[in-house]
Amino acid sequence: MAAIESAMPGIADRPALLIWAPKDRAFNPGQLQRWQTLFRNLDGPHLLPTAGHFSQEDAPDEIVPRLRAWAGARFRAGSAQAPR
| Residues whose CB is less than 8 angstroms from the CB of residue 24 and which lie 6 or more positions away in sequence, other chains included | 51, 52, 53, 55
| Residues whose CB is less than 8 angstroms from the CB of residue 84 and which lie 6 or more positions away in sequence, other chains included | 14
Looking at the DSSP assignment, which residues form a beta bridge with residue 42?
16
Hey, how many other C-beta atoms are within 10 angstroms of the C-beta on 76? 11
pTM: 0.80
Query: No. of H helices and E strands in the chain?
Result: 4, 2
| Residues whose CB is less than 8 angstroms from the CB of residue 75 and which lie 6 or more positions away in sequence, other chains included | 81, 82, 83
Tens-place pLDDT, residues 46-63: 999 999 999 999 999 999
Tens-place pLDDT, residues 4-43: 889 999 999 999 999 999 999 999 999 999 999 999 999 9
Domain coordinates in residue numbering, the chain: 17-74
- Contact criterion met (CB below 8 Å) for 36 and 27: no
